[in-house]
Amino acid sequence: MSEISNQLENLSYKAQQIANEASQLASIVVDTSGGHSDFIIFGITVLVLACFVGYYVVWSVTPALHSPLMGVTNAISSVIIVGALLAAGPIDSAISKYFGLVAVGLAAVNIFGGFVVTNRMLSMFKKK
């Protein structure tokens, strides 16, 4: 019994090793084949579909609210802060980090400014 359990343990250990190696290999394959260039096609797919969504959503916006629309789109275009945060993230003090921090600050001005001013505009629209 104990032999079998030992063997099983061995086997499972080996299986795990193989799995580890396989995943390492896979990641190397992805790296070398440029997992990124695969993303380009995928990204373009997303971009095109999102343009269609944008087209239909924006045409449904009432002309009276075109100024608030600009306010909101201005605020959400600052989603670029995602990139800024990744750039500013490392502990080191390389120049790239400071670029990132400046971008975080700029995007923050926009996020707060855009949403606050839109809210101000929208709070004024009242019915009879």
Partner 1 sequence: MSNLTTAAYLISSVLFILSLRGLSHPSTARRGNFLGILGMTIAIVTTLANPGVLSYKEIGIAFLIGGLIGTSIAVRIQMTALPQLVAAFHSLVGLAAVFVAASAYYNPSAFNIGTVGAIPMGSLIEMSIGTAIGAVTFTGSIIAFGKLQGFVSGNPLVFKGQHFLNLLLGLGIIALIVKFCIDQNQELFWLIVAASFVIGVLLIVPIGGADMPVIVSMLNSYSGWAAAGIGFTLSNNLLIITGALVGSSGAILSYIMCKGMNRSFLNVLLGGFGGEQAASADGVKDDRQAKQGNAADAAFMMKNSKTIIIVPGYGMAVAQAQHALREMGDLLKAAGAEVRYAIHPVAGRMPGHMNVLLAEANVPYDEVLELDEINRDFSETDVAFVIGANDVTNPAAKTDKTSAIYGMPILDVENAGQVFFVKRGMASGYAGVQNELFFRDNTLMLFGDAKKVCEDIIKGLEN
Enumerate residues 2-41 that contact partner 1 by CB under 8 A.
34, 36-37, 39-40
How far apart are the C-alpha atoms of 58 and 51, rounded to whole Å?
A: 10
Q: Minimum Å distance from CB 38 to partner 1? A: 9
Q: Which residues, numbered 48-107, are part of the site for partner 1 (CB under 8 A)? A: 50-51, 53-55, 57-91, 94-97, 99-107
Nearer to partner 1, 3 or 59 (CB): 59
Output the smallest distance, CB 41 to partner 1, in A. Answer: 10
Q: Output 2 or 128, the one with its CB closest to partner 1.
A: 128
Residue from 10, 19, 21, 112 that binds partner 1 (CB under 8 A)?
A: 112
Burial class (CB in 10 A: 0-12, 13-18, 19+), 84: buried
Q: Number of residues interacting with partner 1: please give it, by CB under 8 A.
A: 82
Is residue 125 a contact residue for partner 1 (CB under 8 A)?
A: yes
Q: Is there a contact between 114 and 68 (Cβ–Cβ < 8 Å)?
A: no
